[in-house]
Structure 1
């Protein structure tokens, strides 16, 4: 990057390097967040509901609380989409020429990551509590039990992955634009300013 850095990326206009992008810590953590959301979504949507012969409708495996299953499915879907959007932003980020625009993008990353970490903490507590108070007679064969426990476990993991993502974004925010970047970086879309003329000393 030739020594120029602004919020974790160099000058705009450089070629995209997939290997460098994949090796970045923020990309690795982002992929983990995406993977965990897929696991939670799949576990609850596929095995989170039980159909008893004597009942007409399926009920949620988490204490028959439909809100618990809806919360897990909704969070998994939204996080899946959010991870995809943030990943696209990470790819486009080095092409953003304006320092202020980069600052806004990093601040949005911090806010969203912290928000999802909090929401997954709430989800973990909610799912774990509903699973703990579930009646054994509602599911004597423990159907979908492994899927329910996996959803709870990966909800717990998601709290930390999103928190780490928020910390990484905070680190990028603190990096800011270094002094060299501020002095020598110019927006490629704007013409360079003409050099200023220095006033000659007047002989007395």
Structure 2
């Protein structure tokens, strides 16, 4: 299925993969129990807010990308120009805001993991923690790229030609289109005699032109 020039399904799918890695790593291996307590605690310095924050924005990012993919498929069917502009603006605003949230997640997780005391439990969750931190950083770059692309296509659409060039009536003040120019060579097949035409004889029978 063909996509409009402002669609980026491959980038959205990549963002979904990054989000899955972040919240999947934390949910599966980001909670460990210590020697002092059998209860599971967040591997990032025992700070539950760090785990909850990364899981939350990862899940929302995954759902948002799924929504954008659906909108992308039906973008051409949106007849209203204003609705199309709202879709592009929503993409721009959400992408920029989520890039900032991923930046906060990267700083938050990296800071809490640096403060985590070395232990057997922390060593067990080390790969998952580092994966969550790394893919939070990758998500920053990807969401910034998505926001820049949205800004670019919004600027291209300020003349309205990007959103719907076929939805505006022709300008009544515009001149009529010119006639197509021919090759300059006349053809005998260009014109045909009209039907039921009579052939007039310039010198009828029985009449002579008098000589003066």
**TM-score by shorter chain over 0.5:** yes
Inter-partner Cα distance in structure 2 for 1:62 and 1:43: 12
Q: Tell me how far 1:163 sits from its aligned partner.
A: 0.6
- Structure 1: where are the runs of 5+ without partners? 1-16, 197-204
| Structure having the larger proportion of residues in helix | 1
Q: Tell me how far 1:178 sits from its aligned partner.
A: 4.8
TM-score scaled by structure 2? 0.73
Q: Tell me how far 1:52 sits from its aligned partner.
A: 3.3
Inter-partner Cα distance in structure 2 for 1:35 and 1:54: 36
Larger CA Rg, structure 1 vs 2: 2
SS at match of 1:127: helix
Q: Tell me how far 1:56 sits from its aligned partner.
A: 3.2
Inter-partner Cα distance in structure 1 for 2:14 and 2:132: 15
Q: Match for 1:134 among 116, 119, 130?
A: 116
The size of the alignment, in residue pairs, is 172
CA contact (8 A) 1:99 1:177 kept: no
Q: Tell me how far 1:57 sits from its aligned partner.
A: 1.1
- Structure 2: where are the runs of 5+ without partners? 174-212
1:45-74: per-residue Cα shift (whole Å, max 9, x none)? 000000235413111100011111111111
| Greater mean deviation of Cα atoms: 87-96 or 156-165 | 87-96
1:159-198: per-residue Cα shift (whole Å, max 9, x none)? 01111111111111111165767996237xxxx89x89xx
Identify which of structures 1 and 2 has the higher relative contact order when contacts are C-alpha pairs closer than 8 Å and 6+ apart. Answer: 1
Inter-partner Cα distance in structure 2 for 1:36 and 1:69: 16
Q: Tell me how far 1:98 sits from its aligned partner.
A: 1.5
CA contact (8 A) 1:59 1:66 kept: yes
1:114-160: per-residue Cα shift (whole Å, max 9, x none)? 010000000000000000110113736x0120110000000000001
SS at match of 1:139: helix
Q: Match for 1:101 among 83, 98, 122?
A: 83
TM-score scaled by structure 1? 0.75
Q: Tell me how far 1:30 sits from its aligned partner.
A: 1.0
Inter-partner Cα distance in structure 2 for 1:147 and 1:25: 32
Inter-partner Cα distance in structure 2 for 1:51 and 1:22: 50
SS at match of 1:50: strand
The CA RMSD over aligned residues, in Å, is: 2.7
